[in-house]
Amino acid sequence: MKDVEILLGDRPGALARMAGALGRAGISIEGGGAWCFGGRAVAHFLFDAAAPVAQVLRAEGITVLAEQPVVTLRLDQARPGQLGAAAAAMAAAGVNLRVQYSDHDHRLVLVADDPATAARVAAEWMRRRPGHPG
């Protein structure tokens, strides 16, 4: 999976234009969101790693800022504090989390400054969390 960071206009139809281009290309969005701040809109969406997202969007004149690997983990939704515990484990390993959102499969999606360390920390956190078998 990969996160794609997209610059959108802060105006009606910007998200529809982006999503429409992806839909016409047969590319499914697996999670993410878009936020407006200071007259700009930035989106982070999750895609299959092989999907030609940047190519499709650039052909439509839409700015792709970055394609980045992601780390995913499943939180125990019934247990408060899961995000804090996972984020604290990342911080203790010196990993800066740049982006966080959820996908359609209820997994936490993280874009980190050090994806390899983040993946190692996520695997260890999942193994050690209370109630996890093994």
pLDDT in tens, 1-34: 999 999 998 999 999 999 999 999 999 999 999 9
What's the pTM value of the predicted model, to 2 decimals?
0.90
Higher per-residue pLDDT: 131 or 36: 36
- Burial state string for 49-78 with b = 16 or more CB within 10 A and e = fewer than 16: eebebbebbeeeebeeeeebebbbbebeee
| 79-106: average pLDDT | 94
Residue 134 pLDDT? 47
| Among candidate residues 72, 82, 97, the one with its CA nearest the CA of residue 129 | 82
Cβ distance 113 to 98 under 8 Å? yes
Residue 132 pLDDT? 58
Which residues, 6 or more positions from 86, have their beta carbon under 8 angstroms from its beta carbon?
Answer: 73, 75, 108, 122, 125
